[in-house]
Chain A
Amino acid sequence: QSVLTQPPSVSGAPGQRVTMSCTGSSSNIGADFDVNWYRQLPGAAPKLLIYGNTNRPSGVPDRFSGSKSGTSASLAINGLQAEDEADYYCQSYDSGLSGSVFGGGTKLTVL
């Protein structure tokens, strides 16, 4: 059972917008710790997609955006492309556990 809760799957057609959520608690996201997002392609290591709630590393298209409110965060992908099909994970810090915590991941399917 992951500390951060993500929906197991989301899907969308090419060109559409999809969003996925990440729900935490008062000891992590709600304690004002930043949320980060990672994308993992099959057989590869996770790769940083969004950091500090809303920031994109260089090379990440502006189709990807992050937001945070209260004890939750969201990742939005505009103009869905076939290559976006992957697993997406959120991550934050938990003061009760004194360490980083992850969501269980959301599998994005491009229809």
Chain B
Amino acid sequence: QVQLQQSGPGLVKPSQTLSLTCAISGDSVSSNSAAWNWIRQSPSRGLEWLGRTFYRSKWYNDYAVSVKSRIIINPDTSKNQISLQLKSVTPEDTAVYYCVKYESSSRGGWFDPWGQGTLVTVSS
């Protein structure tokens, strides 16, 4: 059974970098069939996919256009975890951030399971 345990600060100052980690148990971050994602949820933006990292003989990353210039998602194979860095945050980045496993299929895929969520507030 895959479990995702998130950690990181709940308060970030404007213009600084939001950093979260997600420890994976029950699966490998280097899995050839899964992708590891960050999704956020806020009242104003709803559920918003931010990006993913996955391994298919080499590492790949995909990012949402809305955050592409500010986001980095990195795998850490030694700790079997992924990390999220979102730079130059503003109050609009205030949201609950989720780490989520994506199971790929021929016509897309699905998100399961989800981490517990981390409320990150951007405020001075």
> How many A residues touch the partner, as a band?
20 to 34
Is A18's CB within 8 Å of the partner chain B?
A: no
Is A99's CB within 8 Å of the partner chain B?
A: yes
A93/B109 contact (C-beta < 8 A), A47-B114, A99-B62 known: yes
Do the beta carbons of A2 and B108 come within 8 Å of each other? Answer: no
A34/B49 contact (C-beta < 8 A), A45-B116, A98-B62, A99-B62 known: no
**How many chain-B residues does the 8 Å CB contact rule pick out?**
24
Contact with A along B55-83 (1 / 0, CB 8 A): 00000001011000000000000000000
In the complex, what distance in Å separates the CA atom of A52 from the CA atom of B107? 8
Contact with B along A30-60 (1 / 0, CB 8 A): 0011101010000001111001100001000
In the complex, what distance in Å separates the CA atom of A92 from the CA atom of B98? 17
- B113 cross-chain contacts in A, Cβ below 8 A: 47-48
Chain A, 54-111, CB within 8 A of any chain B CB: 57, 89, 91-93, 97-105
- Which of A32, A51, A92 is the one whose CB lies under 8 Å from B112? A51
In the complex, what distance in Å separates the CA atom of A52 from the CA atom of B105? 8
In the complex, what distance in Å separates the CA atom of A103 from the CA atom of B46? 8
- B110 cross-chain contacts in A, Cβ below 8 A: 34, 36, 48, 51-52, 91
- B107 cross-chain contacts in A, Cβ below 8 A: 32-34, 52, 93
A33/B46 contact (C-beta < 8 A), A45-B98, A45-B115 known: no
Is B47's CB within 8 Å of the partner chain A?
A: yes
Contact with B along A18-33 (1 / 0, CB 8 A): 0000000000000011
Do the beta carbons of A105 and B46 come within 8 Å of each other? Answer: yes
* Chain A interface (Cβ < 8 Å from any Cβ of B): 2, 32-34, 36, 38, 45-48, 51-52, 57, 89, 91-93, 97-105
Extra contacts, 8 of them, besides A34-B108, A36-B111 (Cβ < 8 A), are: A34-B109, A51-B103, A57-B112, A89-B47, A99-B64, A102-B46, A102-B49, A105-B46
* Chain B interface (Cβ < 8 Å from any Cβ of A): 37, 46-49, 51, 62, 64-65, 98, 102-103, 105, 107-117
